[in-house]
Amino acid sequence: MSANPTEPPTTDTPRRTDADSWAKPVGRLAVSDRTSDGGVAATVTGRRVAGPLQGFGQMWQKTFRVRLPVNAGVTAEDVVATWKEEFPTFWPKGNTFYAPLAGIRPGEVALLSVSAAGPVKLHTGVLVLYADREAFTLMTPEGHMLAAWITFSAHEGPDGTVVVQAQALERASDPLFEMGLMLGGNRMNNRFWEATVRNVAARFGVAEAPVETEVVCVDRRRQWRHAGNVRYNAGIRALLHTAAAPLRLVRRRG
Summarised one tens digit per residue, pLDDT across range 185-195 is 999 999 999 99
pLDDT at 120 over 60: yes
- Is 253 part of a structural domain of the chain? no
**Range 95-106 average pLDDT:** 93
7-16, 62-71, 108-117, 196-205: least confident range: 7-16
Total domains present in the chain: 1
- Is 30 part of a structural domain of the chain? no
With a pLDDT cut of 90, the percent of the chain lying above it is 71
**Range 230-239 average pLDDT:** 81
- Is 73 part of a structural domain of the chain? yes
- Is 7 part of a structural domain of the chain? no
Name every residue whose Cβ is closer than 8 Å to that of residue 189 and which is 6 or more positions away in sequence.
62, 146, 181
- Is 2 part of a structural domain of the chain? no
pLDDT on residue 234: 86
Q: Residue 163's beta-bridge partner residues?
A: 67, 155
pLDDT at 129 over 50: yes
CATH code for the domain in which residue 218 is found: 3.30.530.20
pLDDT on residue 254: 62
- Is 8 part of a structural domain of the chain? no
5-9, 121-125, 187-191, 214-218: least confident range: 5-9
**Range 226-236 average pLDDT:** 91
Whole-prediction pTM value?
A: 0.86
- Is 198 part of a structural domain of the chain? yes
Rounded Cα distance between 108 and 241, Å, is 25
Q: Which domain holds residue 134?
A: 39-248
**Range 90-102 average pLDDT:** 92
Chain length of the chain: 254
- Is 143 part of a structural domain of the chain? yes
